[in-house]
C-alpha cells in the first residue's frame, strides 16, 4: 500500500508535515490557479506534477474533475463536459499521472447535514441525519430517477473508458456518499458494493475500477474486509479512502480512525493478504482542539493522527503477512 495524502496544488504547511511523516505519494486536485489555461490542459498538469516531484512526492491520483453535472443529468452541455473529461484523461496519460478518482453524484457531491457534531473529547466531525431532509425542497433538477442515472452513466462510460485505455489512466469510481436515495429528489445509484460492481460491469475494462471508500461502504453496512477481497481478486481497487464511521445510511457520523464500527486492523490485513499496492489516504478527519473548522474533514491535526494510526496498522499487517510495508 502506498500511503498518500490529499494536497493543495501549491506547497503549504501540509506538504512539509507530510514529508516529515515519511509520506511520498500525493493525491492532487486540478491546478485551478494557473491563469490563462484550463486546469485540465497538459501544461498546468505537468507544472503541478513537477512541483510535487521537486518536493519529493509522486503524484499518484487526481481527485478532482472539470464540471460533470450535465453528464450525470443527461442535459444540454453533456457533450462539452465529456470533451473536458476526455481532455483531462488524455493529458493525465501524457503527464504520467496514473489514476483519476471520479464520482457520479448528481447536483451535489458528498453531503452532510452537520459539520459540527461532537465526538471523542469534543472534536468536531461531519454527520448526516436523513430525517432533516424529509421536507427539503427539490433542487432545480427536479426528480432525478435511478433509471436516468444508470442510462447516463452507461453513456458516459462508453465515451470515456476507451479514452482511459488509450491514455493508460485508471478510472476509480467513488461510491455515493451518503449511500441513501433519494436526497432532495435526486437519486443515488452507487450506494453499495453490488452497485459499484454493476457500474464497472457496464463497460468492462482493465482501466475501469473503483475508489474503495471504506467510510461510505461501512455506512451502507458492508463487511469491509470482504469488500476488499471481492474487488481485489478482480484487480479493481485503484485507490482507497481509509476512514470510518458510526451509524447507518439514515443517520451516521464520521469518527477518528480508531473509534468507528470497522475493524480497521482486519481491513488492513485484507489489503496485505490480497497484495494491494495502490495509493490510499486518510479522509474526512475530525477537527481537533485549537482548529477553527474552516475546512471540515480536512484540518491538519486529525490528518496527522490518521496518518500515524494507518502507519501503525500497516506495520502490524505487514508482520502478519510477512512482507515489508511501504509506509511512505
Strands (E), 50-207: 58-62, 99-103, 114-118, 124-129, 170-174
pLDDT in the model for residue 149: 98
Q: Which three cell numbers stand for residue 257?
A: 480512525
This prediction's pTM = 0.95
- Residue 277: the pLDDT is 95
For residue 33, the model assigns a pLDDT of 87
Ordered structural domains, the chain, with CATH: 2-321 (3.20.20.150)
pLDDT of 324 reads: 55
Contacts of 159 (CB under 8 A, 6+ apart): 82, 86
* Residues facing 134 on adjacent strands: none
DSSP, residue by residue, 186-208: B-----SHHHHHHHHHHS--TTE
Residues facing residue 186 across a β-bridge: 144, 183
pLDDT along the chain (328 residues), means of 10: 97 97 97 91 98 98 97 97 98 98 96 97 98 96 98 98 98 98 97 98 98 98 98 98 98 98 98 97 97 96 97 94 59
Amino acid at each position: 500500500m502506498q500511503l498518500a495524502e490529499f494536497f493543495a496544488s501549491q506547497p503549504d504547511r501540509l506538504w512539509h508535515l507530510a514529508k516529515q511523516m515519511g509520506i511520498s505519494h500525493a493525491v492532487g486536485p486540478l491546478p485551478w490557479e494557473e491563469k490563462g489555461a484550463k486546469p485540465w490542459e497538459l501544461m498546468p498538469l505537468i507544472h503541478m506534477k513537477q512541483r510535487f516531484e521537486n518536493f519529493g512526492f509522486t503524484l499518484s491520483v487526481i481527485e478532482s474533475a472539470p464540471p460533470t453535472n450535465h453528464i450525470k443529468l443527461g442535459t444540454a452541455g453533456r457533450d462539452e463536459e465529456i470533451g473536458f473529461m476526455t481532455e483531462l484523461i488524455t493529458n493525465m496519460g501524457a503527464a504520467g499521472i496514473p489514476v483519476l478518482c471520479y464520482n457520479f453524484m448528481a447536483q451535489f457531491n458528498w453531503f452532510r447535514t452537520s459539520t459540527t457534531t461532537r465526538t471523542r473529547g469534543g472534536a468536531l466531525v461531519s454527520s448526516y441525519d436523513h430525517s432533516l431532509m424529509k421536507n427539503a425542497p427539490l433542487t432545480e433538477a427536479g426528480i432525478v430517477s435511478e433509471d436516468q442515472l444508470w442510462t447516463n452513466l452507461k453513456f458516459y462510460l462508453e465515451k470515456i473508458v476507451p479514452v482511459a485505455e488509450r491514455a493508460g489512466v485508471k478510472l476509480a469510481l467513488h461510491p455515493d456518499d451518503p449511500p441513501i436515495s433519494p436526497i432532495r429528489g435526486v437519486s443515488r445509484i452507487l450506494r453499495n458494493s453490488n452497485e459499484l460492481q454493476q457500474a464497472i460491469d457496464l463497460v468492462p475494462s482493465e482501466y475501469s475500477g473503483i475508489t474503495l471508500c471504506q467510510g461510505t461502504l461501512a455506512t451502507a453496512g458492508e463487511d469491509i474486509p470482504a469488500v476488499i477481497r471481492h474487488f481485489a481478486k478482480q484487480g479493481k481497487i485503484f485507490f482507497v479512502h481509509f476512514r470510518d464511521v458510526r451509524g447507518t445510511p439514515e443517520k451516521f457520523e464520521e469518527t477518528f480512525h480508531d473509534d468507528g464500527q470497522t475493524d480497521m486492523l482486519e481491513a488492513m490485513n485484507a489489503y496485505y493478504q490480497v497484495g494491494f499496492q495502490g495509493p490510499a489516504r486518510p479522509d474526512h478527519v475530525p477537527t481537533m482542539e485549537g482548529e477553527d473548522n474552516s475546512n471540515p474533514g480536512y484540518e491538519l491535526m486529525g490528518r496527522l493522527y490518521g496518518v500515524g494510526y494507518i502507519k501503525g496498522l500497516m506495520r502490524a499487517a505487514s508482520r502478519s503477512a510477512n512482507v515489508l510495508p511501504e509506509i511512505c
